[in-house]
Protein backbone atom coordinates (compact mmCIF):
# COMPACT_ATOMS: atom_id res chain seq x y z
CA UNK A 1 0.00 0.00 0.00
CA UNK A 2 2.86 2.37 0.72
CA UNK A 3 4.30 1.81 -2.74
CA UNK A 4 0.91 2.57 -4.29
CA UNK A 5 0.62 5.78 -2.27
CA UNK A 6 4.11 6.91 -3.26
CA UNK A 7 3.36 6.08 -6.90
CA UNK A 8 0.11 8.03 -6.87
CA UNK A 9 1.57 11.07 -5.05
CA UNK A 10 4.57 11.49 -7.36
CA UNK A 11 5.10 14.58 -9.50
CA UNK A 12 4.01 14.62 -13.18
CA UNK A 13 7.61 14.28 -14.41
CA UNK A 14 8.10 11.13 -12.30
CA UNK A 15 4.78 9.73 -13.51
CA UNK A 16 5.85 10.39 -17.10
CA UNK A 17 9.05 8.41 -16.63
CA UNK A 18 7.07 5.53 -15.14
CA UNK A 19 4.68 5.63 -18.08
CA UNK A 20 7.67 5.42 -20.42
CA UNK A 21 8.72 2.24 -18.62
CA UNK A 22 5.19 0.87 -18.99
CA UNK A 23 5.13 1.75 -22.70
CA UNK A 24 8.50 0.07 -23.32
CA UNK A 25 7.30 -2.96 -21.36
CA UNK A 26 4.17 -3.12 -23.50
CA UNK A 27 6.21 -3.07 -26.70
CA UNK A 28 8.58 -5.76 -25.44
CA UNK A 29 5.72 -7.92 -24.18
CA UNK A 30 3.97 -7.70 -27.54
CA UNK A 31 7.16 -8.79 -29.31
CA UNK A 32 7.46 -11.80 -26.99
CA UNK A 33 3.84 -12.76 -27.58
CA UNK A 34 4.36 -12.39 -31.34
CA UNK A 35 7.21 -14.91 -31.10
CA UNK A 36 4.82 -17.29 -29.33
CA UNK A 37 2.18 -16.78 -32.00
CA UNK A 38 4.70 -17.42 -34.77
CA UNK A 39 5.82 -20.66 -33.07
CA UNK A 40 2.21 -21.83 -32.67
CA UNK A 41 1.35 -21.03 -36.27
CA UNK A 42 4.50 -22.68 -37.68
CA UNK A 43 5.52 -25.58 -35.45
CA UNK A 44 7.85 -26.91 -38.13
CA UNK A 45 9.97 -23.71 -38.14
CA UNK A 46 11.41 -24.08 -34.65
CA UNK A 47 14.77 -22.54 -35.59
CA UNK A 48 13.15 -19.40 -37.00
CA UNK A 49 10.98 -19.04 -33.91
CA UNK A 50 14.00 -19.42 -31.64
CA UNK A 51 15.87 -16.78 -33.65
CA UNK A 52 12.94 -14.37 -33.29
CA UNK A 53 12.89 -15.00 -29.56
CA UNK A 54 16.65 -14.40 -29.35
CA UNK A 55 16.26 -11.01 -31.06
CA UNK A 56 13.79 -10.03 -28.33
CA UNK A 57 16.67 -9.90 -25.85
CA UNK A 58 17.66 -6.51 -27.29
CA UNK A 59 14.39 -4.68 -26.46
CA UNK A 60 14.24 -6.63 -23.20
CA UNK A 61 17.67 -5.39 -22.15
CA UNK A 62 16.87 -1.82 -23.26
CA UNK A 63 13.63 -1.82 -21.25
CA UNK A 64 15.34 -3.17 -18.12
CA UNK A 65 18.04 -0.51 -18.51
CA UNK A 66 15.37 2.19 -18.70
CA UNK A 67 13.53 0.81 -15.67
CA UNK A 68 16.75 0.84 -13.66
CA UNK A 69 17.50 4.45 -14.62
CA UNK A 70 13.97 5.53 -13.70
CA UNK A 71 14.22 3.79 -10.33
CA UNK A 72 17.47 5.60 -9.57
CA UNK A 73 15.90 9.01 -10.20
CA UNK A 74 12.70 8.38 -8.24
CA UNK A 75 12.65 11.10 -5.54
CA UNK A 76 10.01 9.29 -3.48
CA UNK A 77 12.34 6.39 -2.69
CA UNK A 78 15.51 8.38 -2.01
CA UNK A 79 16.93 8.06 1.54
CA UNK A 80 16.33 11.21 3.59
CA UNK A 81 17.03 12.12 7.22
CA UNK A 82 14.31 10.99 9.60
CA UNK A 83 12.81 8.25 7.42
CA UNK A 84 14.56 5.47 9.33
CA UNK A 85 12.77 6.60 12.50
CA UNK A 86 9.39 5.79 10.91
CA UNK A 87 10.53 2.45 9.51
CA UNK A 88 11.63 3.61 6.05
CA UNK A 89 15.27 2.65 6.06
CA UNK A 90 17.41 1.93 2.98
CA UNK A 91 16.19 -1.68 2.72
CA UNK A 92 12.53 -0.64 2.87
CA UNK A 93 13.06 2.09 0.26
CA UNK A 94 14.82 -0.41 -2.01
CA UNK A 95 11.85 -2.74 -1.69
CA UNK A 96 9.47 0.11 -2.56
CA UNK A 97 11.55 0.97 -5.65
CA UNK A 98 11.51 -2.66 -6.76
CA UNK A 99 7.75 -2.90 -6.19
CA UNK A 100 7.12 0.32 -8.11
CA UNK A 101 9.18 -1.03 -11.01
CA UNK A 102 7.24 -4.28 -10.90
CA UNK A 103 3.93 -2.36 -11.05
CA UNK A 104 5.04 -0.33 -14.09
CA UNK A 105 6.34 -3.37 -15.97
CA UNK A 106 3.28 -5.48 -15.09
CA UNK A 107 1.02 -2.71 -16.38
CA UNK A 108 2.90 -2.72 -19.68
CA UNK A 109 2.73 -6.51 -19.96
CA UNK A 110 -1.02 -6.43 -19.29
CA UNK A 111 -1.51 -3.82 -22.02
CA UNK A 112 0.54 -5.96 -24.42
CA UNK A 113 -1.64 -8.98 -23.68
CA UNK A 114 -4.86 -7.02 -24.20
CA UNK A 115 -3.66 -5.59 -27.51
CA UNK A 116 -2.42 -9.00 -28.66
CA UNK A 117 -5.76 -10.61 -27.85
CA UNK A 118 -7.55 -7.77 -29.63
CA UNK A 119 -5.51 -8.28 -32.80
CA UNK A 120 -6.17 -12.02 -32.64
CA UNK A 121 -9.90 -11.36 -32.52
CA UNK A 122 -10.37 -13.00 -29.12
CA UNK A 123 -11.93 -9.88 -27.62
CA UNK A 124 -13.62 -8.39 -30.70
CA UNK A 125 -13.69 -9.12 -34.40
CA UNK A 126 -10.51 -9.66 -36.39
CA UNK A 127 -9.05 -6.19 -37.18
CA UNK A 128 -7.11 -5.30 -40.34
CA UNK A 129 -8.88 -8.15 -42.20
CA UNK A 130 -6.54 -10.73 -40.67
CA UNK A 131 -3.39 -9.24 -42.22
CA UNK A 132 -1.27 -10.15 -39.19
CA UNK A 133 -2.59 -13.68 -38.73
CA UNK A 134 0.87 -15.16 -39.42
CA UNK A 135 2.35 -13.96 -36.12
CA UNK A 136 -0.87 -14.01 -34.09
CA UNK A 137 -1.78 -17.71 -34.46
CA UNK A 138 -5.41 -16.85 -35.07
CA UNK A 139 -7.69 -19.75 -34.25
CA UNK A 140 -5.06 -21.58 -32.19
CA UNK A 141 -5.61 -21.49 -28.41
CA UNK A 142 -2.86 -19.72 -26.51
CA UNK A 143 -1.13 -21.93 -23.94
CA UNK A 144 -1.60 -20.24 -20.60
CA UNK A 145 1.74 -21.34 -19.00
CA UNK A 146 3.81 -20.15 -21.95
CA UNK A 147 1.92 -16.85 -22.16
CA UNK A 148 2.30 -16.17 -18.43
CA UNK A 149 5.99 -17.10 -18.53
CA UNK A 150 6.78 -14.76 -21.41
CA UNK A 151 4.86 -11.88 -19.84
CA UNK A 152 6.55 -12.43 -16.46
CA UNK A 153 10.10 -12.36 -17.84
CA UNK A 154 10.34 -8.57 -18.10
CA UNK A 155 8.79 -7.64 -14.70
CA UNK A 156 10.89 -10.27 -12.92
CA UNK A 157 14.12 -9.21 -14.65
CA UNK A 158 13.55 -5.48 -14.12
CA UNK A 159 12.55 -5.95 -10.46
CA UNK A 160 15.61 -8.09 -9.76
CA UNK A 161 17.91 -5.59 -11.47
CA UNK A 162 16.50 -2.70 -9.44
CA UNK A 163 16.74 -4.66 -6.18
CA UNK A 164 20.37 -5.61 -6.85
CA UNK A 165 21.42 -2.13 -7.99
CA UNK A 166 19.71 -0.28 -5.14
CA UNK A 167 20.52 -2.72 -2.37
CA UNK A 168 21.72 -1.06 0.85
CA UNK A 169 25.47 -0.72 1.14
CA UNK A 170 27.53 -0.52 4.29
CA UNK A 171 28.16 3.21 4.91
CA UNK A 172 31.09 2.54 7.22
CA UNK A 173 34.51 3.10 5.63
CA UNK A 174 36.99 0.30 5.47
CA UNK A 175 39.51 0.32 8.32
CA UNK A 176 42.87 1.62 7.18
CA UNK A 177 46.19 0.15 8.25
CA UNK A 178 47.63 1.92 11.26
CA UNK A 179 50.87 3.76 10.43
CA UNK A 180 53.97 3.03 12.42
CA UNK A 181 54.77 5.53 15.15
CA UNK A 182 57.20 8.19 14.06
CA UNK A 183 60.61 7.93 15.58
CA UNK A 184 60.34 4.27 16.66
CA UNK A 185 61.90 1.30 14.99
CA UNK A 186 59.85 -1.34 13.13
CA UNK A 187 60.68 -4.98 12.97
CA UNK A 188 61.76 -6.27 9.61
CA UNK A 189 61.21 -9.64 8.06
CA UNK A 190 64.20 -11.17 9.86
CA UNK A 191 63.50 -9.56 13.21
CA UNK A 192 65.88 -6.62 12.64
CA UNK A 193 64.66 -3.14 13.37
CA UNK A 194 64.89 -0.30 10.90
CA UNK A 195 66.56 2.92 11.82
CA UNK A 196 64.39 5.10 14.09
CA UNK A 197 65.26 8.29 12.24
CA UNK A 198 64.61 6.86 8.77
CA UNK A 199 61.74 7.71 6.44
CA UNK A 200 58.31 6.44 7.50
CA UNK A 201 57.01 3.30 5.82
CA UNK A 202 53.70 4.82 4.72
CA UNK A 203 53.69 8.13 2.92
CA UNK A 204 50.76 10.44 3.41
CA UNK A 205 48.18 9.99 0.68
CA UNK A 206 47.87 12.57 -2.03
CA UNK A 207 44.92 14.90 -1.73
CA UNK A 208 41.83 13.53 -3.43
CA UNK A 209 40.77 15.68 -6.34
CA UNK A 210 37.22 14.28 -6.25
CA UNK A 211 37.38 13.11 -9.89
CA UNK A 212 38.23 9.53 -10.76
CA UNK A 213 39.59 8.84 -14.21
CA UNK A 214 37.69 6.00 -15.95
CA UNK A 215 39.98 3.09 -16.76
CA UNK A 216 37.96 1.36 -19.48
CA UNK A 217 39.06 3.39 -22.49
CA UNK A 218 41.88 1.04 -23.68
CA UNK A 219 39.65 -2.03 -23.22
CA UNK A 220 36.82 -0.35 -25.09
CA UNK A 221 39.06 0.59 -28.00
CA UNK A 222 40.32 -3.01 -28.14
CA UNK A 223 36.76 -4.38 -28.20
CA UNK A 224 35.72 -1.96 -30.94
CA UNK A 225 38.75 -2.95 -33.00
CA UNK A 226 37.94 -6.65 -32.48
CA UNK A 227 34.34 -6.09 -33.57
CA UNK A 228 35.37 -4.21 -36.72
CA UNK A 229 37.89 -6.94 -37.50
CA UNK A 230 35.17 -9.57 -37.18
CA UNK A 231 33.06 -7.56 -39.66
CA UNK A 232 35.97 -7.28 -42.06
CA UNK A 233 36.59 -11.03 -42.07
CA UNK A 234 32.91 -11.95 -42.18
CA UNK A 235 31.94 -10.39 -45.47
CA UNK A 236 28.48 -10.26 -46.98
CA UNK A 237 28.21 -13.99 -47.67
CA UNK A 238 29.11 -15.02 -44.11
CA UNK A 239 26.46 -16.47 -41.79
CA UNK A 240 24.62 -14.24 -39.39
CA UNK A 241 26.48 -15.43 -36.27
CA UNK A 242 29.88 -13.80 -37.05
CA UNK A 243 28.16 -10.59 -38.06
CA UNK A 244 26.12 -10.50 -34.85
CA UNK A 245 29.24 -11.31 -32.83
CA UNK A 246 31.07 -8.40 -34.46
CA UNK A 247 28.25 -6.00 -33.71
CA UNK A 248 28.10 -7.26 -30.12
CA UNK A 249 31.83 -6.67 -29.64
CA UNK A 250 31.60 -3.22 -31.20
CA UNK A 251 28.62 -2.21 -29.06
CA UNK A 252 30.29 -3.50 -25.90
CA UNK A 253 33.45 -1.60 -26.75
CA UNK A 254 31.51 1.63 -27.22
CA UNK A 255 29.80 1.23 -23.85
CA UNK A 256 33.08 0.44 -22.09
CA UNK A 257 35.02 3.28 -23.74
CA UNK A 258 32.36 5.99 -23.44
CA UNK A 259 33.11 7.01 -19.81
CA UNK A 260 36.75 7.51 -20.75
CA UNK A 261 35.75 9.47 -23.86
CA UNK A 262 33.46 11.67 -21.78
CA UNK A 263 36.28 12.30 -19.32
CA UNK A 264 38.59 13.14 -22.23
CA UNK A 265 35.97 15.54 -23.59
CA UNK A 266 35.97 17.35 -20.25
CA UNK A 267 39.76 17.58 -20.34
CA UNK A 268 39.70 19.03 -23.85
CA UNK A 269 37.18 21.66 -22.77
CA UNK A 270 39.66 22.90 -20.16
CA UNK A 271 42.67 22.98 -22.48
CA UNK A 272 44.36 26.10 -23.88
CA UNK A 273 43.88 28.77 -21.19
CA UNK A 274 40.21 28.21 -20.35
CA UNK A 275 37.93 30.74 -18.76
CA UNK A 276 35.47 30.19 -15.95
CA UNK A 277 32.79 28.89 -18.33
CA UNK A 278 34.94 26.20 -19.91
CA UNK A 279 36.41 25.25 -16.56
CA UNK A 280 32.95 24.73 -15.10
CA UNK A 281 31.69 22.74 -18.10
CA UNK A 282 34.80 20.59 -18.30
CA UNK A 283 34.92 19.88 -14.60
CA UNK A 284 31.30 18.75 -14.57
CA UNK A 285 31.94 16.42 -17.51
CA UNK A 286 34.94 14.90 -15.77
CA UNK A 287 32.95 14.40 -12.55
CA UNK A 288 29.96 12.81 -14.29
CA UNK A 289 31.90 10.77 -16.85
CA UNK A 290 31.06 7.45 -15.21
CA UNK A 291 27.37 8.33 -14.81
CA UNK A 292 26.52 9.67 -18.26
CA UNK A 293 29.22 7.91 -20.25
CA UNK A 294 27.62 4.47 -20.38
CA UNK A 295 24.17 5.70 -21.55
CA UNK A 296 25.94 7.75 -24.21
CA UNK A 297 27.78 4.62 -25.31
CA UNK A 298 24.53 2.66 -25.49
CA UNK A 299 22.89 5.37 -27.60
CA UNK A 300 25.96 5.50 -29.86
CA UNK A 301 25.94 1.70 -30.28
CA UNK A 302 22.22 1.64 -31.12
CA UNK A 303 22.57 4.54 -33.57
CA UNK A 304 25.56 2.97 -35.33
CA UNK A 305 23.79 -0.39 -35.61
CA UNK A 306 20.66 1.28 -36.99
CA UNK A 307 22.66 3.29 -39.52
CA UNK A 308 24.57 0.19 -40.61
CA UNK A 309 21.36 -1.80 -41.06
CA UNK A 310 19.70 0.93 -43.14
CA UNK A 311 22.73 1.17 -45.45
CA UNK A 312 23.04 -2.61 -45.71
CA UNK A 313 19.75 -3.05 -47.55
CA UNK A 314 18.72 -1.20 -50.69
CA UNK A 315 15.07 -1.13 -49.56
CA UNK A 316 14.89 -1.03 -45.76
CA UNK A 317 11.09 -0.84 -45.82
CA UNK A 318 10.91 -4.21 -47.57
CA UNK A 319 13.51 -5.82 -45.33
CA UNK A 320 11.98 -4.75 -42.03
CA UNK A 321 8.41 -5.59 -41.16
CA UNK A 322 6.13 -4.06 -38.55
CA UNK A 323 7.54 -6.21 -35.73
CA UNK A 324 11.13 -5.28 -36.59
CA UNK A 325 10.10 -1.62 -36.68
CA UNK A 326 8.45 -2.02 -33.28
CA UNK A 327 11.58 -3.62 -31.87
CA UNK A 328 13.77 -0.85 -33.26
CA UNK A 329 11.40 1.75 -31.81
CA UNK A 330 11.50 0.12 -28.37
CA UNK A 331 15.30 -0.13 -28.36
CA UNK A 332 15.91 3.38 -29.70
CA UNK A 333 13.23 4.99 -27.56
CA UNK A 334 14.37 3.21 -24.40
CA UNK A 335 18.03 4.15 -24.88
CA UNK A 336 17.25 7.81 -25.57
CA UNK A 337 14.84 7.94 -22.63
CA UNK A 338 17.52 6.34 -20.43
CA UNK A 339 20.02 9.00 -21.47
CA UNK A 340 17.57 11.78 -20.64
CA UNK A 341 16.74 10.12 -17.32
CA UNK A 342 20.42 9.86 -16.42
CA UNK A 343 20.79 13.55 -17.29
CA UNK A 344 17.99 14.29 -14.81
CA UNK A 345 19.78 12.15 -12.21
CA UNK A 346 23.01 14.06 -12.79
CA UNK A 347 21.17 17.35 -12.38
CA UNK A 348 19.69 16.14 -9.11
CA UNK A 349 23.15 15.16 -7.86
CA UNK A 350 24.46 18.63 -8.76
CA UNK A 351 21.61 20.42 -6.99
CA UNK A 352 23.75 21.25 -3.93
CA UNK A 353 26.66 22.54 -6.02
CA UNK A 354 24.33 24.58 -8.22
CA UNK A 355 22.66 26.15 -5.18
CA UNK A 356 26.07 27.00 -3.71
CA UNK A 357 27.16 28.67 -6.95
CA UNK A 358 23.98 30.72 -7.05
CA UNK A 359 24.50 31.81 -3.44
CA UNK A 360 28.02 32.92 -4.35
CA UNK A 361 26.62 35.17 -7.07
CA UNK A 362 27.05 33.04 -10.21
CA UNK A 363 24.53 34.12 -12.88
CA UNK A 364 21.89 31.55 -13.72
CA UNK A 365 22.50 32.20 -17.40
CA UNK A 366 26.12 31.14 -17.03
CA UNK A 367 25.04 27.77 -15.65
CA UNK A 368 22.67 27.28 -18.58
CA UNK A 369 25.38 28.21 -21.08
CA UNK A 370 27.75 25.74 -19.38
CA UNK A 371 25.13 23.00 -19.74
CA UNK A 372 24.70 23.84 -23.44
CA UNK A 373 28.48 23.80 -23.87
CA UNK A 374 28.68 20.33 -22.32
CA UNK A 375 25.96 19.04 -24.62
CA UNK A 376 27.64 20.57 -27.69
CA UNK A 377 31.01 19.08 -26.77
CA UNK A 378 29.54 15.61 -26.30
CA UNK A 379 27.65 15.88 -29.59
CA UNK A 380 30.78 17.03 -31.41
CA UNK A 381 32.67 13.98 -30.13
CA UNK A 382 30.09 11.19 -30.25
CA UNK A 383 28.23 12.06 -33.47
CA UNK A 384 31.26 11.68 -35.82
CA UNK A 385 32.43 8.65 -33.83
CA UNK A 386 29.05 6.97 -34.29
CA UNK A 387 29.01 7.67 -38.03
CA UNK A 388 32.57 6.40 -38.51
CA UNK A 389 31.94 3.16 -36.62
CA UNK A 390 28.64 2.62 -38.45
CA UNK A 391 30.31 3.14 -41.83
CA UNK A 392 33.19 0.81 -40.98
CA UNK A 393 30.75 -1.84 -39.73
CA UNK A 394 28.64 -1.73 -42.88
CA UNK A 395 31.52 -1.43 -45.37
CA UNK A 396 32.56 -5.11 -45.47
CA UNK A 397 28.92 -6.23 -45.69
CA UNK A 398 28.11 -4.05 -48.71
CA UNK A 399 30.96 -5.24 -50.91
- The residue range of the domain holding 357 is 217-398
Residue 240: how many CB atoms within 10 A of its CB?
9
Kindly calculate the radius of gyration of the chain based on its CA atoms and give it in whole angstroms: 26
15 & 149 share domain:
yes
236 & 312 share domain:
yes
CA 64/CA 101 separation, integer angstroms = 10
385 & 291 share domain:
yes
Would you state the pLDDT for residue 184?
Answer: 43
Average pLDDT, the chain: 79
| Residue 332 φ/ψ region, left for φ over 0, alpha for ψ in the -120 to 50 degree band, beta for the rest | alpha
Residue 271, domain member (yes or no): yes
252 & 376 share domain:
yes
Query: E-strand spans in 16-172?
Result: none
Residue 199, domain member (yes or no): no
CA 322/CA 310 separation, integer angstroms = 15
- Domains identified in the chain, total number: 2
Would you state the pLDDT for residue 235?
Answer: 60
136 & 272 share domain:
no
Residue 275, domain member (yes or no): yes
Q: Which of 130, 150, 165 is the last residue of a domain?
A: 165
Would you state the pLDDT for residue 240?
Answer: 60
Q: Which of 165, 192, 209 is the last residue of a domain?
A: 165
246 & 156 share domain:
no
Residue 192, domain member (yes or no): no
8 & 144 share domain:
yes
**Residues of the chain with confidence (pLDDT) below 50:** 176-209, 315-319
CA 36/CA 147 separation, integer angstroms = 8
pLDDT in tens, 245-264: 888 889 999 999 999 999 99
Residue 341, domain member (yes or no): yes
pLDDT in tens, 198-237: 444 434 344 344 567 788 889 999 999 998 888 777 665 5
SS3 321: coil
232 & 376 share domain:
yes
CA 53/CA 102 separation, integer angstroms = 22
Amino acid sequence: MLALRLTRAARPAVQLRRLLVAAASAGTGFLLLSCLGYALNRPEAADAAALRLAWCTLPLAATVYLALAVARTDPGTRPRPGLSAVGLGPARLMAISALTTALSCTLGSALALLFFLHLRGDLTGMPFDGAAADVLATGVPLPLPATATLLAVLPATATTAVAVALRPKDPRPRPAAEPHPTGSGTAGADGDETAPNGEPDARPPAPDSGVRTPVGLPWGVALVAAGLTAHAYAGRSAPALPVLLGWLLTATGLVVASPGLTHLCGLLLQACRPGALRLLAGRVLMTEAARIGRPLGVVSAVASAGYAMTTLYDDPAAAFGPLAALGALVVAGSTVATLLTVAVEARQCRAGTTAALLRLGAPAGTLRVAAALRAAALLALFAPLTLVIAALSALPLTR
